Structure 1
Amino acid sequence: MRLIKTFVGGIVLILIGIAWGLLLDEIGMREWLLLLSGIVLGIIAGLVQRWAVARQRLGLITPGKKRLWIIGVIVVLVTVKVAINVFIPSYLATNNSGIYLSIVYAIGGLLLGHALYLRFKPMPQPAKLRANRT
């Protein structure tokens, strides 16, 4: 159920972003490609975050390291997006609406990454929980 809610949330954010982008006159091909890169970066970040959560649930890393992975991935995502906006100047980097639109796409990609990890690599259960079920 969590998989479906996360996936739907990501798709809804991306659809909202598409509708919002179509309403803005200054969005061209370069901007749409930059928004697509935001989705891809968000998906990668979501996959890494879920990987860290799964490793912590298995007892392979501590909760502090999980938190470090999750925060670190967000910092890297923001840093890469800012670097892209600096090196490829566009409407998205110079207008408030464009910046917010980029954030919507990145969060949508992040949710899709979480859902993809859950779909293809379900959350493992620690041995203690599996032993209690039987």
Structure 2
Amino acid sequence: MIYALDMADLDTPTVLFVCVHNAGRSQMAAGYLRALAGDAVEVLSAGSAPKDEINPVAILAMAEEGIDIAGNIPNVLTVEAVKESDVVITMGCGDACPIFPGKRYEDWDLDDPAGQGIDAVRPIRDEIRRRIEVLITELLPERAA
């Protein structure tokens, strides 16, 4: 039996964003990467202790950028999600993320938007966008040209 492979799938990197509650930082990062990279990157997000809903201030902050994350649902971090990812970016989740050889790991030291007002969340959002823009140039160098 012959199986057809979609070569586009082989070239599409998968990025997993992980924070404790998967309700703020990781959701904003996933929202930016989806919006800015489109289908060129597969985007996942999860939390070591996910909340029941997305932080409403994070939703508002992203809406100001024209990105809707209101329908997102926090996900629990699984070993499978880490295994299928090429890049794992943690945001204050400590040692909860399993480590596998051959993966790229980054820890982004960002303030937690939980319990913060919009004026405190905007700079966190803006720093996430800056880092996502750098990540895109690293993952998709053809777009940086």
- State the TM-score, normalized to the length of structure 2: 0.31
Higher strand share: 2
Whichever structure has more helix as a proportion of its residues is: 1
TM-score (norm 1): 0.33
